[in-house]
Structure 1
């Protein structure tokens, strides 16, 4: 049996875990899982205490995407029966911000499908963000695809605090998931927004037929990218996508993945994201021992848990909502 606490203390002393240790985390026997989770919590508690960040998504543009990502119901090759619409108006984005404010959400995430935003779409987001900042002072994260430098500048000047562009999977596994853009395209976008002083958010989707070594490589790539926020999605396979019917995950393995992310990226926001409800199921609460952030409400094209249940879960755990206005510390 591995001494997970000793490994956690070494991480707190600034050591990086080896590849062998990373594999042992993912291969942790189920009977030792609580020891692993508790040790990951030592790291999480050192940097974040008992606080949990809440995030909320608004899907401002649905479907109509030219990309061929195999997991996505909004892609050009998906036959999933989802609602499709072009960019919503500013008032709709503002109503979402009002709801986020009411739910004590710390970060409001403005998401749009597509390879990258048009000039008009950027203008809509910029106008909304300026009013959100003035009216609600929320932290805003944008997720609009591949950006051009001038678009990154516009978002920064409008007050966007954070930009999300996930690596999704490992570089070696990338072409198995999509061929309409490269892994390097994704890395370049994250590096671009860092150049403009926007906090980088980049994460993964686990459960897409990748190997355990792929998962380790994802975690290490995000460490190299220095992503401030790391959304960990667990595949919710949707009928009509290329990954329809794939069901490789169980709640215990999902917890091990979250622990791995914490051991490799100890100081970063680890967010349990899409697929939380269907993959962690009754173990959702345990996920917040290695992770320190969740989404409330619905995701892009799938429903999330009722937000009142999320608030009850946090109360039952004895955790506090970490509500941070504006951008007091976009690196936290």
Structure 2
């Protein structure tokens, strides 16, 4: 197939996305199975969609691991789970002063969104009170958007977070429905969908994404993108498994950099108007090709992740500058 025909093929997917038409399964599989020689053309098509909705702006987000380890869940990818033997820090929910200090650090890193993340199946009412207390002060004193990621919500917890001023709530689907029980058995895929629906019902911005590299098929990757399109989430973090020693998935390996770029293009075509964030594992999986990810994605996590290190924030700022893009401040 010559270059012109290949280019037209990917351009047709971009046009579909811009017209609000969802690409079909066969087209999604073609993206993931494209020859590596076609990746630049594929990214150019994805960039047309990204640029239409987000221009050349890049949103930055920073995570604080507000409660580490001590988790009763058996998620195979997670170093904080009960089945992990990885040597991670274990501590209860951080106090308000520490959460406030994290928010100030987010501002220093030019992040517009500060993500408060706590390990566990879901928050206790006491933990929720602690988070809410910190959120209220952050809202009063700093120009930050706040995202909470506290697990499965129950009762009126979503309502209380919304009333406190939480802008966004993250609860990832992580993998496909078909692959779910191979990854975790202590909660269900449907419970995750229900939490996202709760968040939406309370007016918070829904954030939900995936982890690529956990034994899923190409068809299941396309199905994950369809599921998030159907859920109509605003933000989609695309994580690439960082196979931590001591976790059940420690031998899963890494996603090849070129495949990771194809995945990002796929999600841009299927969820064209949504924030697509290159998230955990990007440094390990994309390696030197990280700058190319921003031709499909429009958002990054800066700094460290929950239990693994990210790259120096100045490197991320330089990537954005060198691409001729710009940081979008104070935006969800």
Task: Please give the secondary structure, in 2, of the residue aligned with 1:163.
Answer: strand
Alignment of structure 1 residues 138-217 onto 2, 5 Å: 138-217=144-223
Question: Partner of 2:315 in structure 1?
Answer: 309
Residue 281 of structure 2: aligned partner:
275
The match for 1:69 is 75
In structure 2, runs of 5+ residues without a counterpart are none
CA deviation profile, 1:153-204 (whole Å, cap 9, x unmatched): 1111110000000000000000000000000010000001111111100000
Structure 1: how far apart are the matches of 2:57 and 2:81?
A: 36
2:254 and 2:284 in contact (8 A); partners too = no
Asked if 1 retains the 8 angstrom alpha-carbon contact of 2:243 and 2:254, the reply is no
Q: 1:103: which partner in 2?
A: 109
DSSP-derived class of the 1:74 partner: coil
Q: Is 1:259 aligned with 2:299? A: no
Say yes or no: does 1:9 pair with 2:53. no
Greater alpha carbon shift after TM alignment, 9-18 vs 208-217 = 9-18
Checking the alignment, whether the CA contact within 8 Å between 1:52 and 1:292 is kept in structure 2 is yes
Structure 1 position 5, deviation (Å): 1.2
1:145 and 1:281 map into 2 onto residues whose CA distance is 30
SS of the counterpart of 2:206?
strand
| Residues 232-282 of structure 1: per-residue CA shift (max 9 Å, x gap) | 000000000000121151000000000000000000000000000000000
How big is each residue's C-alpha offset from its partner over 1:60-83, in whole Å with a ceiling of 9 and x where there is no partner? 000000000000000001000111
CA distance in 2, matches of 1:285, 1:7: 22
| 2:227 maps to 1:243 | no
Secondary structure at the aligned position of 1:140 is classed as strand
SS at match of 1:149: coil
Q: Distance in 1 between matches of 2:231 and 2:31?
A: 22
Q: Secondary structure at the match of 2:156?
A: helix
Q: Is 1:88 the equivalent of 2:84?
A: no
- How far apart in 2 are the matches of 1:38 and 1:177? 34
Residue of structure 2 aligned with 1:50, choices 52, 56, 63:
56
2:243 aligned with 1:218: no
Deviation at 1:101, TM superposition (A): 1.3
| SS of structure 1 residue aligned to 2:169 | strand
TM-score by length of 2: 0.97
Q: Alignment RMSD, CA only?
A: 0.8
SS in structure 2 opposite 1:310? helix
- Counting matched residue pairs gives 326
Q: TM-score, normalised by structure 1?
A: 0.97
Decide whether the 8 Å contact of 1:149 with 1:192 is kept in 2: no
Shift of 1:10: 2.2
| Contact preservation (8 Å) 2:58, 2:327 | yes
